[in-house]
Amino acid sequence: NAGVTQTPKFQVLKTGQSMTLQCAQDMNHEYMSWYRQDPGMGLRLIHYSVGAGITDQGEVPNGYNVSRSTTEDFPLRLLSAAPSQTSVYFCASRDGQLKLFFGSGTQLSVL
């Protein structure tokens, strides 16, 4: 049981490049979410999904797209990276008791 797996762990992009952060969970959780973590800001919700085929915006959705074609996977797409998107990104899934399980994070730098 791997839990929540994120790839890659580190990524450097140039402004305007696109990329996809991958997230997979093997706990059969319906709810999955993406957070970004910036110094002094805590964790902020980007997008979330309550089940396959359903996604919704969180607190800071601009510049990010998501899709949820399967229960296991919830990729986060940056269509045109900007320096303001330099951050650490965490994917999380949630059990029926509202407890979030986090991946190990992706450190993204946009130059």
Partner 1 sequence: GESVGLHLPTLSVQEGDNSIINCAYSNSASDYFIWYKQESGKGPQFIIDIRSNMDKRQGQRVTVLLNKTVKHLSLQIAATQPGDSAVYFCAENHGTASKLTFGTGTRLQVTL
Binding footprint of partner 1 on the chain (CB under 8 A): 4, 31, 35, 39-45, 48, 58, 90, 92, 97-105
Cβ proximity to partner 1: between 13 and 89 the closer is 89
Rounded alpha-carbon distances, angstroms, from residue 31 to 8, 11, 27: 22, 26, 11
- The least CB distance from residue 80 to partner 1, in Å, is 27
Side-chain half-sphere of 26: how many Cα atoms within 13 Å? 5
- The least CB distance from residue 27 to partner 1, in Å, is 13
Q: For residues 48 and 92, give the distance between their C-alpha atoms in angstroms, rounded to a whole number.
A: 9
- The least CB distance from residue 111 to partner 1, in Å, is 22
Cβ proximity to partner 1: between 13 and 90 the closer is 90
